Amino acid sequence: MKKKHARHSEHAARPSSARRPSWLPAWFDARAAGLVLAVKAVLLLYGAQSFVVWKNERPGSFYDWLAIWNRWDAPHYLDIARMGYVAEGVEARWIVFYPLYPWLVRAASLVLRDELLGAFVVSGLASVAAGVLLYRLARVDETEEEARASVFYMLVFPTAYFLHIGYTESLFLALALGAFLAARSRVWWAAGLLGGLAALARVNGLLLIPALAFEVWAEYRGSGRRLRAGWLWALTPLAGFGVYLFINWWVLGDPRAFLNAQGEFWYKSLTWPWVGIRESWNAIWGRAPSDAQMVGWQEFFFVLLGLGLTAWAWLRLRTAYAVWMTCNWLLWTSTKFVLSVPRYTLVLFPAFILLARLRASRPVWGAAVVVWSLLFFALFAARFAQGYWAF
């Protein structure tokens, strides 16, 4: 208890507005933002160089440097940004992608006159917000050094390149972190609005409801067990998800159309977690070496990693954080075809706080995690930039 009290005292004594221009929001932190931008620059440079080496081609312009990241799901978001959801053709399948990110890309492209540039601007701003918000959220409980280390571990995580390209990871993570930070500050209307937007970006946004419910419970116990109407804001993610269901009905005549598309084209449907995990294990032995590694070993490993980190969170972190990790882990694994778990693990932000604590208490282990992260970050990012599957 003394250690935690000291942390809070240090946080209270730190001048939050020092070195911050008056026009920036109070939650902004220049050092965290600078780290995100530095990693982003290194990633884009590395991606272009790895593309040249392995493809024996030269990107002709900076735009081409960005285009090498426009792979797999990324073009689908640009299709939605360009023409919206449609009811016919192959593009009708894109109903499985939630609308907030392509809407923001569309808005940015109206200024930039290009959807790809719009996607990088949206992801760029969201990645900076995610880095700063993780620092601010971690700083509520952790020391300055541990809070900054949390951001570092997030940015070097093996699939962290998704924070910087045309995917929803950075936007969703920024919204989820903002919702948690607002809830920790007991600003429930902000937590609710950010949670509603998160549910418009990814289905995981609904998982903010049980997580925020435990923050409500914590405030209820600490306030003499008096009820507050503001706690109802924690249910706002239902409204965001309701908008998405309305889009399904409006475009395809069925609010559950996304479930049909997921089952038919992505082979995903709800089942017990061990069913999909068993399929990942079988892929290790039943596929060609490259697929066995990426669709088998890596998926299986990150399933176990997420499970281990979740168990660790229950022992060391707030209940709300552990609930968030548990619900997300169950969502990814409760499907017949486990896929992209290494990418999905990025939203387990409490794991980065745990790794920062590990670095502080066990520096050798913390360094080992960094080496592992950087090696696989380079491997996966290079594969993705060359057009090969990397989650």
User: In sequence order, what DSSP letters do the residues of 85-114 get, joined into one string?
Assistant: --SSSGGGGGGGS-SHHHHHHHHHHHHHS-
How many Cα atoms are found within 13 Å in the side-chain-facing hemisphere of 358?
18
Give the model's confidence band at 27: pLDDT under 50 very low, under 70 low, under 90 confident, else very high: confident
CA-based end-to-end distance of the chain: 41
Could you read off the pLDDT of 135-146 as tens digits, one per residue? 999 999 999 999
User: What pLDDT sits at residue 7?
Assistant: 47
Radius of gyration of the chain (CA): 21
Give the model's confidence band at 24: pLDDT under 50 very low, under 70 low, under 90 confident, else very high: confident
8 A C-beta contact, residue 195 and residue 236: yes
8 A C-beta contact, residue 337 and residue 130: no
User: What pLDDT sits at residue 49?
Assistant: 93
Distance from C-alpha of 160 to C-alpha of 46, rounded to nearest angstrom:
14
**Conformational region of residue 61, where left means phi above 0, alpha means psi within -120 to 50, and beta covers everything else:** beta
8 A C-beta contact, residue 268 and residue 336: yes
Could you read off the pLDDT of 356-387 as tens digits, one per residue? 999 999 999 999 999 999 999 999 999 999 99
User: What pLDDT sits at residue 60?
Assistant: 81
Could you read off the pLDDT of 282-292 as tens digits, one per residue? 999 989 999 99
8 A C-beta contact, residue 200 and residue 190: no
